[in-house]
Amino acid sequence: MDLKIYDTSRRQKVTFEPRIQGKVGMYVCGPTVYDRIHIGNARPLVVFDVFARLLRRGYDVTYVRNITDIDDKINARAKERGIDIRDLTETTVDRFREDCAALNVLPPDHEPRATETIAEMIALIETLIERGHAYALEDGHVLFSVPSWPDYGKFANKDRDEQISGARVDVASYKRDPADFVLWKPSDAETPGWPNPWCEKGRPGWHIECSAMSEKFLGPDFDIHGGGIDLVFPHHQNEIAQSCCAHAESERGDRFARYWMHNGYLMSEGEKMSKSLGNFYTVAELLEEFPGEALRLVILQAHYRQPLDFSKDKCREAKAALDRLYRLKQTALTHGVDPSVDGAFVSALSDDLNVPLALAKLHELAEGIDTAEGAARFLGALDLLGIAQMEPDVWFKGADAGDGPSAEEVESLIEARKAAKAAKNFAEADRIRDELKDKGVVLEDKPGGVTEWRRA
């Protein structure tokens, strides 16, 4: 596979070369489970799902996406609702997975939780202290010493002033340097905590979690690290600092992750997404109005590195586009062929995951579905993008009618309409057709007296 990636650390598009021939290790930052994910959270989930599907065409892939279930936001939300922290995180994880399934996001190979990686975090922090890159305070805090690593800031292209400014939310009197960041902190009686060498009960800082979880499953060096562009600084810069400083250069095959990929920002209805502006949408809220595949297609229509302006109008347009794709899929399935891969389509995706170009290639492939080979390539392209994955009848008729008539009711009314037409009662036949249309069901009369239907 001739794969090119825009590498954030190099600030240019480069040819991908795995550390181990035929194998790829990829880590992507996952959710902090204190609430339902919003459509901005969904973007990296969908982007890196397509990328993982592409990689699996040519490599043995180990895809790791973590779950952060230790966080002050989680603690505050549980206290606000008056529920146990564990109950909040378990419920939120279940709902997160439901949202992923609705978006056709496949599960990663490993989905580690921060609470299950405490021992590895403590060991990593101890190593950083031993190597002179971290220091422990009497009150139980442990901090990373930013001045101890001269390369700090290079990845994010941040100078000294920007480093301090970016750390302002964590500036505290106990820091030796204003840019230092927390690796471990003490917990009070009401806050989750674990036994550790520095205080009776404590919990990790956010940044150390990903360094520990990625190393646990992929080793100290791996191929690809992904996430949203907002994570470049300070989170990913801090991950790099921790992981590089915990291992001598002779112990490392490379420089933590060899390639870094970041998806662009998401705007909503032309402005920054905000509850006060009324353009803040959770995936769950949008699924009440649109199919998950429509949300997925909207996300994919913009190049992953570019800003995405999300709107409900685009969801409606995506639903109409999917209707067309499902009609084409109906035709393609009549050939009874297995999906195959089209070279030009894969080449588009292999050029820094250029999904907009791949979608253009998909429409070209649709012109060839009258042949078995063309149908197979069209179906394979749908699978790689993770769209039009239902059976067409389920898409059009719906496994769940919601507020509309059930499939049985629709079929009964179609039979009544046929009887009315046979009796030359065309006014009654038109009335039934219009009634169904008002209820969101469209009838299509085909040759031979066959009537097909779909939900609008």
Decide if pLDDT at 154 tops 70: yes
Looking at residue 133, what is its pLDDT? 97
Among residues 362, 369, 384, the alpha carbon closest in space to that of 337 is found at 369
Q: How many residues does the chain have?
A: 456
- DSSP H stretches of helix in 66-156: 72-81, 85-102, 118-130
> What is d(CA 402, CA 409) in angstroms, rounded to the nearest whole number?
13
Looking at residue 250, what is its pLDDT? 59
Paired with 27 in beta bridges are 64, 225
Among residues 411, 418, 333, the alpha carbon closest in space to that of 369 is found at 333
> What is d(CA 39, CA 329) in angstroms, rounded to the nearest whole number?
27
**Stretch(es) of the chain classified as CATH 3.40.50.620:** 4-263
Amino acid, single-letter form, for residue 344: A
419-423 LR contacts (CB < 8 Å, sep 24+): none
Q: Alpha carbon 82 to chain centroid distance?
A: 30
What three-state secondary structure class fits 240? helix
The DSSP line for 3-71 is -EEEETTTTEEEE---SBTTEEEEEE---BTTS--BHHHHHHHHHHHHHHHHHTTTSEEEEEE-BB---
Decide if pLDDT at 282 tops 80: yes
Among residues 300, 66, 47, 314, the alpha carbon closest in space to that of 204 is found at 66
Region 303-318: mean pLDDT is 96
For residue 440, which phi and psi values (nearest 5 degrees)? 85, 20
Looking at residue 207, what is its pLDDT? 96
Among residues 122, 154, 121, 123, the alpha carbon closest in space to that of 255 is found at 154
- DSSP H stretches of helix in 184-308: 206-218, 237-245, 283-287, 292-300
Decide if pLDDT at 399 tops 70: no
Amino acid, single-letter form, for residue 406: S
CB 177 within 8 A of CB 146: yes
Q: How confident is the model at residue 33 (pLDDT cuts 50, 70, 90)?
A: very high
CB 104 within 8 A of CB 387: yes
Amino acid, single-letter form, for residue 34: Y
Looking at residue 404, what is its pLDDT? 77
CB-count burial class (<10 Å; 0-12, 13-18, 19+) for 162 = middle
Q: Residue with structure tokens 């219009």? A: 434
CB 390 within 8 A of CB 380: no
Q: How confident is the model at residue 377 (pLDDT cuts 50, 70, 90)?
A: very high
Looking at residue 252, what is its pLDDT? 55
Query: What is the largest distance, in Å, between two alpha-carbon atoms of the chain?
Result: 92
247 is in an annotated binding site: no
Q: At what angle do helices 85-102 and 292-300 cross, to 10 degrees?
A: 80
Separate counts of helices (H) and strands (E) for the chain: 16, 15
The CATH architecture assigned to 4-263 reads: 3-Layer(aba) Sandwich (3.40)
Q: Which residues contact 341 (CB under 8 A, 6 or more apart)?
A: 57, 377, 380, 384
Region 149-157: mean pLDDT is 92
29 is in an annotated binding site: yes
100 is in an annotated binding site: no
Looking at residue 253, what is its pLDDT? 53
CB-count burial class (<10 Å; 0-12, 13-18, 19+) for 135 = middle
Looking at residue 455, what is its pLDDT? 77
CB 299 within 8 A of CB 42: yes
Q: How confident is the model at residue 442 (pLDDT cuts 50, 70, 90)?
A: confident
Looking at residue 167, what is its pLDDT? 61
Q: How confident is the model at residue 183 (pLDDT cuts 50, 70, 90)?
A: very high
> What is d(CA 428, CA 415) in angstroms, rounded to the nearest whole number?
12
Decide if pLDDT at 371 tops 90: yes
Paired with 224 in beta bridges are 26, 259
Decide if pLDDT at 117 tops 80: yes
> What is d(CA 256, CA 117) in angstroms, rounded to the nearest whole number?
19
> What is d(CA 454, CA 339) in angstroms, rounded to the nearest whole number?
25
Decide if pLDDT at 169 tops 80: no
216 is in an annotated binding site: no
> What is d(CA 306, CA 325) in angstroms, rounded to the nearest whole number?
25
Looking at residue 438, what is its pLDDT? 86
Q: How confident is the model at residue 201 (pLDDT cuts 50, 70, 90)?
A: very high
Looking at residue 1, what is its pLDDT? 78
Decide if pLDDT at 439 tops 70: yes
Mean predicted lDDT score pLDDT of the chain: 92
199 is in an annotated binding site: no
Region 57-80: mean pLDDT is 96
Among residues 61, 24, 57, the alpha carbon closest in space to that of 384 is found at 57
